[in-house]
Amino acid sequence: MRGDPELTVLRLGHRPGRDERMSTHVGLTARALGADRVVFAGKAEGPKETVTDITDRFGGPFDVEVSDSYRPLMEEFDGRVVHLTMYGLPVQEVEEEIRSTHRSGPLLVVVGAEKVPFDVYEAADHNVAVTNQPHSEVASLAVFLDRLHEGRELDREWVDADRRVIPEERGKRVEGTDER
Ligand code: SAM
């Protein structure tokens, strides 16, 4: 988020056809909840297009990239690497340390798809669990980002949007940003 060191989300192992919706939702969740960039490892042109389109319409800044391999980004990343996994340490026990290192440097948050190769567990500085129960990359990412930001991401301001939602108790109100 603006004013914070960069926060990147890496989605491992996108399989074309099978993972389209989950990869898209990882990207949309990363954008909505305070990350600056998502990288899809795999052939993820569809998710890239959808998340870019949402950013163009509802604002940013937010970058979307596709990469053939996750390894260069993880190995060369100039900052802490957090891997979200049900086998890791409870988020509530490690969030303060991660938050405090992120105050002064970039953070890479890695989520998987199917079986995650063991080198990811080894390359990560923190293997972090959002409960030790199996669930989903979208859910774990959402909880982790909210914990990391302590809720600040809910008030994030959006730049270069061409529309915005006007919150209402009932109904669906959207206005163009040039209508004010
Ligand atoms: N069975 C796979 C494995 O053992 O690597 C995990 C598959 S799970 C459907 C997909 C991703 O969701 C995981 O790679 C992880 O990033 C995330 N995930 C699922 N449950 C989680 C949990 N309890 N805490 C943190 N992340 C979780």
Q: pLDDT band for 116, please (50, 70, 90 cuts).
A: very high
Q: Which residues line ligand 1 (CB under 6 A)?
A: 84-86, 111-116, 129-131, 133-137, 140
CATH code assigned at 114 = 3.40.1280.10
Percentage of the chain lying above the pLDDT 70 cut: 99
Instruction: Report how far residue 41's alpha carbon sits from residue 54's, in angstroms, rounded to the nearest whole number.
Output: 20
User: Is residue 173 a part of any domain in this protein?
Assistant: no
> Quick check: bond before 61 cis, omega within 30?
yes
Instruction: Report how far residue 94's alpha carbon sits from residue 56's, in angstroms, rounded to the nearest whole number.
Output: 35
Sign of CA dihedral 131, 121, 127, 62: negative
User: Is residue 36 a part of any domain in this protein?
Assistant: yes
48 assigned ligand-binding residue: no
pLDDT digits (tens, 9 = 90+) for 135-175: 999 999 999 999 999 999 999 999 999 999 999 999 999 99
Distance 150 CA to ligand 1 centre (A): 22
116 assigned ligand-binding residue: yes
Task: Decide: 31 and 38 in contact? Cβ < 8 Å.
Answer: yes
Distance 139 CA to ligand 1 centre (A): 10
Q: What is the mean pLDDT of the chain?
A: 95
**What's the longest Cα–Cα distance across the chain?**
52
Cβ neighbours of 21 (radius 10 Å): 12
Q: What pLDDT does 180 receive? A: 57
Position 21 pLDDT exceeds 60: yes
Q: What pLDDT does 88 receive? A: 98
Instruction: Work out which ligand 1 atom sits closest to the CA atom of 144.
Output: 25
The rounded Cα 16 to chain-centroid distance in angstroms is 19
User: Is residue 83 a part of any domain in this protein?
Assistant: yes
Q: What pLDDT does 18 receive? A: 83
Percentage of the chain lying above the pLDDT 90 cut: 89
pTM of this prediction? 0.96
Q: What pLDDT does 125 receive? A: 97
Angle, helices 91-102 vs 137-149, to 10°: value is 60
Residue nearest to atom 12 of ligand 1 (CA): 137
Distant-in-sequence, close-in-space partners of 96: CB < 8 Å, separation ≥ 6: none
Instruction: Report how far residue 69's alpha carbon sits from residue 12's, in angstroms, rounded to the nearest whole number.
Output: 8
Instruction: Work out which ligand 1 atom sits closest to the CA atom of 132.
Output: 23
114 assigned ligand-binding residue: yes
Q: pLDDT band for 96, please (50, 70, 90 cuts).
A: very high
Position 106 pLDDT exceeds 70: yes
Kindly list the distances between the CA atom of residue 45 and the CA atoms of 8, 36, 86, 94, 174, in Å, as whole numbers in the listed order: 18, 19, 28, 34, 28
Distance 112 CA to ligand 1 centre (A): 6
Count how many domains the chain has: 1
User: Is residue 110 a part of any domain in this protein?
Assistant: yes
94 assigned ligand-binding residue: no
Q: What pLDDT does 36 receive? A: 98
Q: What's the domain range around 41? A: 7-154
